[in-house]
């Protein structure tokens, strides 16, 4: 007798031997036991989940010689004939090859006749969704009201393609995919009955590769038995399937816990040598991370004892937060494989990402809760001393607190951190964010190297440990050549620390909190009416408004660049943010004072001439982007940039209209010639853009100097959105 494949040999013969479809078995057995039999059933589900098997068992239950029963005997002529696929009253029709209306009409013609041998005629139509629309329409009436001796069983993997008129006439059962545990148990029983030696790990690989299909699992089992020469071993099954073994995954976890990058790369190299799928490796790694996280919270959820024992060893090695992150990295790394230069690069980059976000290291590597970075082994260079004997000492910066000198005094020396205000208790408090923002925006940009040099070279401003009155905060400033003089000044006036060489940042009170004597006549805030004036007047008013905060003029500084002594009642100066003056091209002529076209033409003021003519529309757009070249012998020559050549190509008549307007304004005929080329000077459009930017900058500066805006920024940490500012 020829060999029969396991999928056919071990096909279930009764509802009791059916695996994984308990919900369908329960409904059918109850219907058979009570006699409530429908005339049409529809079984849906993926391949290999038991649709055809259930239809055959149902046909035996309906035609068993012992009667309609949920447990057919399996030994009568009807049961054995159905199992052997030779029962005349059980017809299996493949709708994929018999999908036309003619085949359906022939089947329905035979349905009216009484059964030959059995109790019912059972028509099983597999892949019913492949039928044509006309075939479905042809069977609707018979499907709704069939003869009493006819039962229809429909099976499909795609129920969405079946018309709703057919679905409404059937009892629909959705067959689920087989759980991996059910597949492993079923394969183990079959191998024991076949007397084949196997390893449980090999069966888990087969069940995972079957993806919920019992028929696929049995087909793979046949292949594994042939591959292993009658034995089913885990290593051979892994080679056969090309899957990533558990050893590779656990090696990744071991190297990850130890922080061993070479070991991680060795795993990737070994997988590449065996041509294993990196996509499947990341999928399996995400599954393993999920199992470890599951073991942390619910160890009993892992039913397999061997798997649980191996996974519990990693529960204490990784914290729950890192496992959540590792899971995300694995699944996103799998999605990014298609974007990587190659699969090996994408896989190794995912492993390096896991290493970069690995759990925090022990205290020996960097202290508790500290992750050693690339510069973990670099020694910290101590700050050099500023002088000998009675000179000020250089403080040592501490993490998160004020600098402390060797004598124990608390220092407010400049560091790379933001400027701080020294409170009376000696605790460093951050300066107001708005004041720092003003200083950063107005003063020069200080690089990180300059700040480090200032920390090493600038003299420190120390404060005694005993309580003292509050002092003005000092901003970070780079070291300058007059550091000794500042040190001497600090020694002469111990009651007040010397200011830094750069801009100092005081804690400026709001406008309404300043004393009346702090104002000069030119320091008063501008009125609201001043803002509706011209740009020049408003800019001057805005600059005068900030005068109460910024007194950094030439008279306030000494010959050496050092700030002169200030009155204690007057606050320290604050830099004023002024709008930059618009740059004027040297080649551009001065603006004309009159609108006379002839005078403007003689001066070569092309921009003023355009305004005098009152051009508009496409003609103005063309003229604005043209550059004045020369005018002589009744010919005006202009140059249009290549980037705006489309203005000339769009409408050739614009040149003629511009020429007519010029001639009419001058009272004489003037020829106009426009050449295409690179612009050497400045076009009216460019000049207008520069002036618009200048007006916008002046408007922003005026708003920043406004006391109400400054108060909003300082008190509520507001932000001025410069893109929304519109100059008047």
Instruction: Please report which confidence band the pLDDT of residue 381 belongs to, taking 50, 70 and 90 as the band edges.
Output: very low
- The DSSP symbol for 474 reads B
Helix, strand or coil, per DSSP, at residue 521: helix
pLDDT at 255 over 50: yes
pLDDT digits (tens, 9 = 90+) for 191-231: 999 999 999 889 988 998 898 999 999 999 999 999 988 89
pLDDT at 708 over 80: yes
Lowest-confidence region among 106-115, 186-195, 351-360: 351-360
Question: What gap in Å lies between CA 204 and CA 607, rounded to an integer?
Answer: 83
Helix, strand or coil, per DSSP, at residue 630: strand
For residues 482-504, average pLDDT: 40
Closest residue by Cα to residue 661 from 611, 725, 727, 713: 611
Contacts of 314 (CB under 8 A, 6+ apart): 253, 257, 292
Question: What gap in Å lies between CA 438 and CA 700, rounded to an integer?
Answer: 13
Closest residue by Cα to residue 76 from 85, 67, 347: 67
pLDDT at 694 over 70: yes
Handedness of CA 401, 403, 405, 407 (dihedral sign): negative
Beta strands in 444-524 (DSSP E): 462-463
Residues of the chain with CATH 3.40.50.300: 6-174
Q: What is the DSSP string of 392-418?
A: PPPPBP-TTS-EE-TTS-EE----SSP
Residues of the chain with CATH 3.30.300.150: 597-681
Contacts of 199 (CB under 8 A, 6+ apart): 232, 233, 234
Q: Which comes out higher in pLDDT, residue 69 or 568?
A: 69
Domain 246-362 belongs in CATH node 1.20.272.10: yes
Lowest-confidence region among 84-98, 312-326, 645-659, 671-685: 645-659
- The DSSP symbol for 628 reads E
Q: What is the pLDDT of residue 351?
A: 95
Helix, strand or coil, per DSSP, at residue 23: helix
Q: Which secondary-structure segment (H or E) carries 124?
A: strand 121-126
Q: What is the pLDDT of residue 400?
A: 39
pLDDT digits (tens, 9 = 90+) for 625-651: 888 888 887 788 888 888 887 787 777
For residues 536-558, average pLDDT: 43
pLDDT at 500 over 70: no
pLDDT at 701 over 80: yes
Handedness of CA 490, 493, 494, 500 (dihedral sign): negative
CA separation, residue 231 to residues 192, 197, 208, 236, 473 (Å)? 12, 5, 19, 9, 82
pLDDT digits (tens, 9 = 90+) for 588-607: 334 333 347 777 777 778 88
Beta carbons of 454 and 477 less than 8 angstroms apart:
yes
Domain 6-174 belongs in CATH node 3.40.50.970: no
Q: Mean pLDDT across the chain, nearest whole number? A: 73
Lowest-confidence region among 60-74, 635-649, 694-708: 635-649
For residues 359-381, average pLDDT: 41
For residues 165-178, average pLDDT: 93
Question: What gap in Å lies between CA 583 and CA 683, rounded to an integer?
Answer: 14
Instruction: Please report which confidence band the pLDDT of residue 89 belongs to, taking 50, 70 and 90 as the band edges.
Output: very high
pLDDT at 52 over 50: yes
Beta carbons of 490 and 413 less than 8 angstroms apart:
no
Closest residue by Cα to residue 615 from 563, 664, 668: 664
Question: What gap in Å lies between CA 256 and CA 288, rounded to an integer?
Answer: 14
Handedness of CA 476, 482, 484, 489 (dihedral sign): negative
Question: How many residues are there in the chain?
Answer: 728
Helix, strand or coil, per DSSP, at residue 273: helix
Q: What is the DSSP string of 164-203?
A: HHHHTTSEEEEPPPPPHHHHHHHHHHHHHHHT-EE-HHHH
Q: Which comes out higher in pLDDT, residue 137 or 431?
A: 137
Question: What gap in Å lies between CA 391 and CA 709, rounded to an integer?
Answer: 44
**Residue 275 buriedness (CB in 10 A; 0-12 / 13-18 / 19+):** exposed
Residues of the chain with CATH 1.10.8.60: 180-241
Report the topology of domain 597-681.
GMP Synthetase; Chain A, domain 3 (3.30.300)
Given this structure, which CATH class describes domain 180-241? mainly alpha
Q: What is the DSSP string of 150-173?
A: EEEEEEES-GGGS-HHHHTTSEEE
Q: Which comes out higher in pLDDT, residue 227 or 580?
A: 227
Widest Cα–Cα separation across the chain: 125
Q: What is the pLDDT of residue 717?
A: 85
Beta carbons of 679 and 641 less than 8 angstroms apart:
yes
Question: What gap in Å lies between CA 712 and CA 697, rounded to an integer?
Answer: 20
Q: What is the pLDDT of residue 170?
A: 94
Beta carbons of 360 and 371 less than 8 angstroms apart:
yes
Contacts of 323 (CB under 8 A, 6+ apart): 289, 292, 293, 296
- The DSSP symbol for 300 reads G
Beta carbons of 241 and 224 less than 8 angstroms apart:
no
Q: What is the pLDDT of residue 360?
A: 62
Question: What gap in Å lies between CA 249 and CA 278, rounded to an integer?
Answer: 12
Question: What gap in Å lies between CA 180 and CA 263, rounded to an integer?
Answer: 32
pLDDT at 309 over 90: no
Contacts of 475 (CB under 8 A, 6+ apart): 414, 419, 431, 436, 439, 500, 502, 503, 504, 505
Q: Which comes out higher in pLDDT, residue 558 or 308?
A: 308
pLDDT at 380 over 70: no
Question: What gap in Å lies between CA 235 and CA 421, rounded to an integer?
Answer: 68
Question: Percent of the chain scored above 90 by pLDDT?
Answer: 34
């Amino acid at each position: 007798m020829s060999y029969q494949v396991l999928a056919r040999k071990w096909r279930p013969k009764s509802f009791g031997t059916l695996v994984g479809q308990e919900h369908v078995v329960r409904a059918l057995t109850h219907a058979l036991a009570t006699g409530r039999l429908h005339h049409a059933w529809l079984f849906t589900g993926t391949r290999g989940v038991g649709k055809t098997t259930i239809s055959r068992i149902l046909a035996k239950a309906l035609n068993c010689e012992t009667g309609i029963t949920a447990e057919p005997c399996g030994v009568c002529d009807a049961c054995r004939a159905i199992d052997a696929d030779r029962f005349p009253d059980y017809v299996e029709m493949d709708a994929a090859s018999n999908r036309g209306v003619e085949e359906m009409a022939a089947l329905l013609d035979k349905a009216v006749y009484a059964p030959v041998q059995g109790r019912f005629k059972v028509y099983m139509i597999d892949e019913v969704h492949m039928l044509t629309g006309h075939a479905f329409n042809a069977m609707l009436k018979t499907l709704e009201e069939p003869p009493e001796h006819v039962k229809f069983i429909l099976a499909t993997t795609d129920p969405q393609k079946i018309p709703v008129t057919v679905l409404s006439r059937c009892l629909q059962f959705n067959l689920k995919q087989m759980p991996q545990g059910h597949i492993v148990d079923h394969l183990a029983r079959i191998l024991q009955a076949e007397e084949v030696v196997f390893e449980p790990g090999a069966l888990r690989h087969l069940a995972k590769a079957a993806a919920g299909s019992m028929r696929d699992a049995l087909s793979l089992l046949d292949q594994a038995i042939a591959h292993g020469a009658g034995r089913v071993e885990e290593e051979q099954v892994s080679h056969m399937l090309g899957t990533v073994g558990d050893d590779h995954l656990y090696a990744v976890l071991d190297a990850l816990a130890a922080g061993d990058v070479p070991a991680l790369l060795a795993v990737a190299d070994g997988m590449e040598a065996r041509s294993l799928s990196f996509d499947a490796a990341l999928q399996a790694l995400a599954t393993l991370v999920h199992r470890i996280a599951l073991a942390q919270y619910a160890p009993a959820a892992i039913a397999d004892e061997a798997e649980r024992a191996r996974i519990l060893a990693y529960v204490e090695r990784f914290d729950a937060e890192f496992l959540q992150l590792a899971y995300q990295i694995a699944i996103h790394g799998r999605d990014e494989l298609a974007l990587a230069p190659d699969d090996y690069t994408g896989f190794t980059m995912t492993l390096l990402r896991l290493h970069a976000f690995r759990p925090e290291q022990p205290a020996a590597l960097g202290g508790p809760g500290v992750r050693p970075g690339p510069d973990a082994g670099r020694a910290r260079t101590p700050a050099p001393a500023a002088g000998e004997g009675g000179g000020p000492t250089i403080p040592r910066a501490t993490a998160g607190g004020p600098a402390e000198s060797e004598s124990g005094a608390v220092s407010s020396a400049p560091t790379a951190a933001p400027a701080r205000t020294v409170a009376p208790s000696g605790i460093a408090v951050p300066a107001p964010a708005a004041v720092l923002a003003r200083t950063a925006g107005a003063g020069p940009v200080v690089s990180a190297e300059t700040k480090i040099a200032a920390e090493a070279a600038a003299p420190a401003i120390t404060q005694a440990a005993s309580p003292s009155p509050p002092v003005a905060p000092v901003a970070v400033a780079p070291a300058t050549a007059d550091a000794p003089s500042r040190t001497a000044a600090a020694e002469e006036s111990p009651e007040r620390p010397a200011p830094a060489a750069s801009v100092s940042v005081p804690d400026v009170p709001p406008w309404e909190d300043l004393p009346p004597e702090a104002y000069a006549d030119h320091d008063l805030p501008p009125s609201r009416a001043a803002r509706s004036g011209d740009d020049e007047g408003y800019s001057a008013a805005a600059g005068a408004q900030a005068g109460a905060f910024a007194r950094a003029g030439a008279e306030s500084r000494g010959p050496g660049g050092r700030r002169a002594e200030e009155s204690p009642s007057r606050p320290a100066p604050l830099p004023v943010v002024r709008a930059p003056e618009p740059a004027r091209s040297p080649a551009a002529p001065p603006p004309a004072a009159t609108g006379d076209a002839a005078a403007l033409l003689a001066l070569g003021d092309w921009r003023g001439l355009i305004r005098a003519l009152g051009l508009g529309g496409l003609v103005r757009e063309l003229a604005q982007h043209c550059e004045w070249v020369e005018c002589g012998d009744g010919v005006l020559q202009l140059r249009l940039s290549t980037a705006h050549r489309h203005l000339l190509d769009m409408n050739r008549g614009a040149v003629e209209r511009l020429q007519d307007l010029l001639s009419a304004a001058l009272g004489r005929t003037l020829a106009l010639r426009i050449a295409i080329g690179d612009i050497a000077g400045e076009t009216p459009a460019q000049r207008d853009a520069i002036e618009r930017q200048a007006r916008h900058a002046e408007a922003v500066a005026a708003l920043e100097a406004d006391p109400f805006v400054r108060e909003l920024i300082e008190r509520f940490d507001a932000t001025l959105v410069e893109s929304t500012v519109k100059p008047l």
